[in-house]
């Protein structure tokens, strides 16, 4: 789950749109 989040986070950095969705998903898992 953490690995998937990291991949999504990396993609989110490139695209701001998915970042919003990723933020909601990662909200439970503080990776920052």
pLDDT value of position 6:
63
pLDDT value of position 16:
56
Q: Is 10 exposed, middle or buried (0-12, 13-18, 19+ CB in 10 A)?
A: exposed
pLDDT value of position 25:
66
The domain limits of the chain are: 1-32
What is the helix (H) or strand (E) element at residue 18, kind and residue range? Answer: helix 16-26
pLDDT value of position 10:
63
The set of residues, in sequence order, having a beta carbon less than 8 Å from that of 28 and lying 6+ positions away, is none
- pLDDT digit string, tens, across residues 1-32: 556 666 666 665 555 556 566 666 666 655 55
> Rounded to the nearest 10 degrees, how much is the dihedral formed by the CA atoms of 10, 15, 8, 25?
130
Can you tell me the distance from the alpha carbon of 7 to that of 11, in angstroms, rounded to the nearest whole number?
A: 6
């Amino acid at each position: 789950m953490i690995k998937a989040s990291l991949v999504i986070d990396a993609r989110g950095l490139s695209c701001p749109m998915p970042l919003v969705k990723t933020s909601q998903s990662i909200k439970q898992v503080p990776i920052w």
